[in-house]
Amino acid sequence: MKTRTKEEKLSLFLLISALTMYVLVCMTKSNYTASIAYIVKEGIFTKAKSGLISACFYLIYSVGQIVGGVITDRISPYKVISIGILGSLGINFALCFTTRFEAVLVLWSLCGIIQFGIWPGLVKIVASVISPKHRKTASVLVGMCIGTGGILSYLVATPVLEWLGWAGLFGMNSLVLVLLLISWVLTEKLTAPALMPEPVRHIRASAPECKPAFFPIFLRSGLPVIMAVNMIVNMLSIGIKSWVPTMMMESYDISATWASVQTAVTYAVNIAGAFAVIYLFRNIKNELVCESTYLFLCVPFYIILLFIGKWPMWSMMTAVMVTTTFTYSVGNLNVRTAANFEKYRCSATVSGILNGMASFGIFAANGSFGVIAQHWGWTTVNVILVCLGSLGAVLALAVGVTLWRKFKLEKVGQ
């Protein structure tokens, strides 16, 4: 059996710590969204107000991610992650003491911006800090973190609200974040001296001394269109999952707890998407063409959702599971997409931009779908899903076979 070097052991430890960290951050970040069905049912907030709070979080978060990506390409990813965890801890603790709409809106929005560097920091660690031997596996596992955190949030949030109330939910978040901060600081002390971030060695050897201008890279890679596709995908994935418990509860007269359990099962099924994308990517070797393929496959299932409340609930849940699994697969390709920019030493910047657009998509979905459903019903929301899925598929295919294909073949210095 081959003996691992000390660097490889530290790299594996850092990877496990970073993945665990992001799963728990995703859980605490998603606990409010996972509670929307309960919050609406108990009359704490209306659908419109509940959606607005979640939407503002993701709007602020989207801006923070873009800034955070740029910052993380310049300072230690360990530090920006620690800042995000510490800030989130303070805000969750403050939320234990208020259910006033205006206060919750402001505090949860602040939580969105304080997490500016957590995702870019994680991607930077995967792209340029851990051992090259672990990077391919890491790109798959990172994609599973959001789904795993989502499962935990839907399994935990509603029961905790019912047993311990609002203060109990955010108190639990605070305790998790305290333990997480301690473990992350210890991880940094153990691994940072040996695994400080640097560009991949063979890239560094061939790269020019000065970092190339970002704007030309931004244009010739097709990144503006990729950003639009990413926004659409997350409206279709995480955005709609935010409303699935409420949609099912209102369309089929089931409890908020049962609706949340259904969504947790959906998240569990979605994790299969992280593995499904591996097979497709091996054969196509183009992230955007893979995304287009999955989005085209989603459209017939969005059409099934037009019959919500008329067809059996199991058929609607099947359609939700299939579409969110395919769009979850698309989201997993973001890590691979961002890693392609590390040859120009801007993977964290791109990951921040893509995650920012993803978050803006969740903002758009959370901010609009609740209002649309309240005034025109869930069928109207599902018509929008059909249109968005078709548009995203066409855009991804168009940029994938043109600009993105050429960019992937570029050599540094061309």
Tell me how far apart the alpha carbons of residues 194 and 92 are, in angstroms, rounded to a whole number: 33
Predicted local confidence at residue 73, as pLDDT: 80
pLDDT in tens, 185-226: 999 999 888 765 554 444 444 444 556 788 899 999 999 999
pLDDT bracket for residue 331 (50, 70, 90) = low
- Confidence tier at 285 by pLDDT (50, 70, 90): confident
Name the more confident of 86 and 281. Answer: 86
Q: Which pLDDT value is given to residue 210?
A: 57
Question: Which phi and psi angles does 16 have, rounded to 5°?
Answer: -65, -45
* Candidate from 11-25, 140-154, 191-205 with smallest mean pLDDT: 191-205
CA distance 335 to 354: 9
Coil, helix or strand at residue 345: coil
**Three-state secondary structure along 127-164?**
HHCCCHHHHHHHHHHHHHHHHHHHHHHHHHHHHHHHHH
pLDDT-derived band at 381, boundaries 50, 70, 90: very high
Give the Cα separation of 32 and 242 in Å (integer): 10
**Domain residue limits at 219:** 13-197+214-408
Give the confidence band of 323 by pLDDT, cuts at 50, 70, 90. very high
Spatial distance between the Cα atoms of 317 and 311, rounded to a whole number of angstroms = 11
Residue 317 resides in a domain = yes
pLDDT of residue 1: 38
What is the average pLDDT score of the chain? 86
Q: Is 247 exposed, middle or buried (0-12, 13-18, 19+ CB in 10 A)?
A: buried
Report how far apart the first and last C-alpha atoms of the chain are (Å, whole number): 42
Q: Within 10 Å of residue 193's Cβ, how many Cβ atoms?
A: 9
Looking at per-residue pLDDT, the higher value among 273 and 160 belongs to: 160
- Give the model confidence (pLDDT) of 155-164 as tens digits: 888 788 888 8
Per-residue pLDDT, 276: 75
Q: What pLDDT sits at residue 101? A: 93
Of 101-110, 189-198, 255-264, which one has max mean pLDDT? 101-110
Q: 76: which residues sit within 8 A by CB, 6+ positions away?
A: 192, 196, 197
Can you list the alpha helix ranges (DSSP code H) found in 235-377?
Answer: 240-252, 256-270, 272-284, 287-304, 313-339, 347-376
7 in any annotated domain: no
Under the banding of pLDDT at 50, 70 and 90, the label for residue 355 is confident
**DSSP one-letter code for 309:** T
87 pLDDT band, cuts 50/70/90, is very high
Spatial separation of the C-alpha atoms in residues 149 and 155, rounded to whole Å:
10
Q: In this structure, what DSSP letter does residue 96 have? A: T
Residue 373 domain flag = yes
Q: What is the pLDDT of residue 413?
A: 60
Give the mean model confidence (pLDDT) for residues 254-278: 79
- Joined together, the tokens standing for residue 221 give 């890679």
Token digits of residue 149:
């955190």
Paired tokens of 178: 């305290």
Based on its alpha-carbon atoms, the radius of gyration of the chain, rounded to whole angstroms, reads: 21
> Does any domain span residue 202?
no
**pLDDT of 229 strictly over 60:** yes
Q: Where are the alpha helices (DSSP H) in 35-73?
A: 36-41, 47-72
Burial 211-233 (b: 16+ CB within 10 A, else e): eeebeebbeebbbebbbbbbbbb
Report the pLDDT averaged over residues 80-105: 94
How confident is the model over 36-42, as a mean pLDDT? 80
Higher confidence at residue 363 or residue 109? 109
Least confident of 32-41, 125-134, 205-214, 321-330: 205-214
Question: What's the pLDDT score for residue 410?
Answer: 86
Output DSSP code: residue 358.
H
Q: Taking a C-beta distance cutoff of 8 angstroms, is the pair 143, 274 a contact?
A: yes
What's the CA gap between 377 and 374, in Å, rounded? Answer: 6
The CATH code of the domain that includes 169 is 1.20.1250.20
Residue 411: count of CB within 10 angstroms of its CB? 7
The residue behind tokens 């790299």 is 11
pLDDT at 63: 86
- Does residue 288 surpass a pLDDT of 50? yes
Q: How many domains does the chain have?
A: 1
- 99 close to 44: Cβ distance less than 8 angstroms: yes
Residue with tokens 């019959």: 307
What's the whole-number mean pLDDT along residues 239-261? 82
Mean predicted confidence (pLDDT) in 131-136: 82
Position 299 in a domain? yes
Asked whether residue 45 is domain-assigned, the answer is: yes
The encoded tokens of residue 34 equal: 């996972």
Asked if residue 75 is part of any domain, the answer here is yes
Structure tokens at 161: 């609200």
C-alpha closest to that of 329 among 409, 236, 405, 264: 236
Residue 226, in any domain of the structure: yes
